[in-house]
Amino acid sequence: MSASTAAVPTANTNGNHALSLDSHSSQDVRRRTVVVAKKKASPELLAGGGINGVSEDKIASKKDLSHTIRGESVLDKPKYSSEARKDAVASAAAERRKKSSTKQEKAKLSKVEGFKKTTKMLQVQLDILDKKLGNEIDKTKRDITKQFEAKGNELEKKMKALENKTGKLDKSIAELRDMGFLSKKEFEEILSQLKEKKGLGGTDDDITLDDIRLYAKEIVEIEIAKHSADGLGMVDYALGSGGAKVVSHSESFMTGKNYIPGRSSVHGTAQKMLEPSFGQPGECFALKGSSGFVDVKLRTGIIPKAITLEHVDKSVAYDRSSAPKDFQVRGWYQGSQEGSDKDSNVMTALGEFSYNLDNSNAQTFQLERSANPRAVNMVRFEFSSNHGNSQLTCIYRFRVHGTESLP
């Protein structure tokens, strides 16, 4: 059958037109049929008055229906089937991806839940540990507080005991000071000597007020014995009754009938500075101004070792500003004696010192010593200042100590 024959419609008894197609034809045949049908339905065919006397409208109507039913349906079916398969495959893949994503989400949720449980367990353990540590710290704090309180109470008791002893000692010092025996510094020295005597090693334990009074009494007795032996227990080679005398001095504060300033004569009161005065106020040799000197000839030639300068005690003094302050001592040998170490009239510096009003009234100063000391029989006491009195300077007692030189 030719393509043109297959495309020509035939009339049936019902007046309907249909396309005769072999249902068993291949896909190519169907495609050609559609193409031929389209050609028959072209404007040229319709312009010739239709086909076999059939009107254009009917042919068009029949062609359109047949084309719709037998042509487009057949042609579009494979296309729809392929797209359906693609949609099914895509849907299946999406379903698989969705299931896989769901599994992953579940796995993640499971891990998160496990982490939460682990974290919660750790938090519980940390809370327990923190509570235990807190209890231990509180217990330690309580123990330390108790120890501090115990130590504090013990220290407070010791401080009170020390305050009581200090009060007793201060009272004793005041009593002894009122009695005129000693100053606070001297009492501290006495207390130190008493500790050493009793072997207490620097502590105040087992020292009673009676012990202090007894020891002070012993010291007073010793001092009285020393005073009877010229007060210091050392030989005084400048003692007036022993043969020493003042041979020269600077201008005296008081003038006398037998004293002419500027000449070699000596004031009548000068010798008082070489005699014991026992601290009587006014029993001194007064020189004019705040500087001056006194030359003393010793009872014999000696190797000088120390000098002692004495002023009236503060417990009986009216005014102590006239006491010498800064001074120096020089010595020489006047005359000629055998021996090369006794050069005549060569003055030697023996030391510079300062008299302190806060110390005892009789203060001893050690003289400078050389490798080859020289004997002297003359000593000069020269002061450059006093304790504030611009009119006069008083010397109550001047003593020189040493050892007699060999002939």
Burial class (CB in 10 A: 0-12, 13-18, 19+), 12: exposed
Partners of 351 in the beta sheet?
329
Pairing status of strand 285-288 against strand 392-395: antiparallel
Closest Cα partner for 377 from 321, 335, 339? 335
pLDDT at residue 367, rounded to an integer: 94
Nearest-10 Cα torsion for 178, 183, 186, 190 = 20
pLDDT digits (tens, 9 = 90+) for 291-332: 999 999 999 999 999 999 999 888 787 789 999 999 999 999
Closest Cα partner for 9 from 55, 44, 43? 55
Which DSSP helix (H) or strand (E) runs through 141? helix 73-178
Contact present, 299 and 235 (Cβ < 8 Å): no
Contacts for 26 with CB less than 8 Å, ≥ 6 apart: none
Residue matched to tokens 């490798």 = 371
Q: How many CA atoms, within 13 angstroms, populate the side-chain half-sphere of residue 231? A: 19
pLDDT at residue 387, rounded to an integer: 95
pLDDT at 405 over 70: yes
For the record, the structure tokens of 164 come out as 């009581």
Which DSSP helix (H) or strand (E) runs through 245? strand 245-249
Predicted TM-score (pTM) of this structure: 0.46
Closest Cα partner for 246 from 270, 227, 225? 270
pLDDT digits (tens, 9 = 90+) for 66-100: 444 444 444 444 555 677 777 788 888 888 887 77
pLDDT digits (tens, 9 = 90+) for 342-397: 456 788 999 999 999 999 888 999 998 887 888 999 999 999 999 999 999 999 99
Contact present, 210 and 250 (Cβ < 8 Å): no
Contact present, 286 and 270 (Cβ < 8 Å): no
Distance, in Å, from the CA atom of 59 to the CA atom of 52, rounded to the nearest integer, reads 10
Closest Cα partner for 392 from 251, 284, 306, 289? 289
pLDDT at residue 44, rounded to an integer: 47
Contacts for 49 with CB less than 8 Å, ≥ 6 apart: 56
Backbone angles phi, psi at 63, to 5 degrees: -65, -45
Distance, in Å, from the CA atom of 205 to the CA atom of 212, rounded to the nearest integer, reads 13
Cα–chain center distance at 118: 47
Burial class (CB in 10 A: 0-12, 13-18, 19+), 249: buried
Q: What amino acid occupies position 10?
A: T
Distance, in Å, from the CA atom of 132 to the CA atom of 128, rounded to the nearest integer, reads 6
pLDDT digits (tens, 9 = 90+) for 226-281: 655 566 778 899 999 889 999 999 999 876 544 455 555 799 899 999 988 766 77
